[in-house]
A and B are shown apart, each in its own frame.
Chain A
Amino acid sequence: RKEVEQDPGPFNVPEGATVAFNCTYSNSASQSFFWYRQDCRKEPKLLMSVYSSGNEDGRFTAQLNRASQYISLLIRDSKLSDSATYLCVVNPMNRDDKIIFGKGTRLHILP
């Protein structure tokens, strides 16, 4: 099983729809989790951290399922400006382990 796995997409979604994608991770001892957003040829930027209890920021909701070892991102009422690649990031438990980036899921919001 790959360390962090994401569906590469692309997800083509009409504007206003709700879209969700998951990220699975293999190391059950992983400590913290994030979603980053990356626009074409730009640097990744933090979208939101993922807390054990789940968290919501406006139209965005992130969830963590430790039992099944995945995190999810839900985008409601999608906007054209949500078109981007969404990267899942997993921080390890130990200092000797490495931060792992998923390869990203491409999202296209269609007018």
Chain B
Amino acid sequence: EAQVTQNPRYLITVTGKKLTVTCSQNMNHEYMSWYRQDPGLGLRQIYYSMNVEVTDKGDVPEGYKVSRKEKRNFPLILESPSPNQTSLYFCASSPRQIDSYNEQFFGPGTRLTVL
């Protein structure tokens, strides 16, 4: 089944404790992206990747890192989480960013709480 998977789905952690949220897609998509969604603010892009070894900052990259060593995986790293990073996180993939009518496929989301 074509899908985007994220792990963990739920995480409660404490300030400063490094964590990684994994994202994997099995559709051979070039483009992958991380978003956070907060009430009243909608979906905001954190980082995106056009292809392997190519990553770029989105709108809210502060406090996050990513890597794209393989096409299928795009982990999101929080080196020192803070309470303002409490949010619902979505990973998404797409065949290419720029093409007519490219659909983005989203993972199920990771609900992160930083105490």
Residues of A within 8 A of B (CB): 31-32, 34, 41-46, 49, 51, 87, 89, 91-95, 98-99, 101-104
In the complex, residue of chain A having the shortest beta-carbon distance to the beta carbon of B106? A43
B62 at interface, CB cutoff 8 A: no
B40, A43: Cβ atoms closer than 8 Å: no
B98, A31: Cβ atoms closer than 8 Å: yes
A103, B90: Cβ atoms closer than 8 Å: no
Docked CA distance A46–B104 (Å): 8
Residues of B within 8 A of A (CB): 33, 35, 40-43, 45, 48, 50, 58-59, 88, 90, 97-98, 100-104, 106-109, 111
A44, B43: Cβ atoms closer than 8 Å: yes
Q: Apart from A31-B98, A51-B101, A99-B97, what are 19 other A-B pairs with CB-CB below 8 Å?
A: A32-B100, A32-B101, A41-B111, A43-B108, A43-B109, A44-B43, A44-B104, A49-B101, A49-B103, A87-B43, A91-B97, A93-B98, A94-B98, A98-B59, A99-B45, A99-B104, A101-B43, A103-B41, A103-B42
Q: 7 tightest A-B contacts by CB?
A: A103-B42, A43-B106, A101-B43, A49-B101, A46-B103, A95-B98, A32-B101
Docked CA distance A102–B41 (Å): 9
Chain B at the A interface: SS class: loop
Chain A at the B interface: SS class: loop
How far in angstroms is the closest Cβ of chain B from A36?
Answer: 8
In the complex, residue of chain A having the shortest beta-carbon distance to the beta carbon of B39? A103
Contacts of B111 in A (CB 8 A): 41
Contacts of A41 in B (CB 8 A): 88, 109, 111
A104, B59: Cβ atoms closer than 8 Å: no
A91, B106: Cβ atoms closer than 8 Å: no
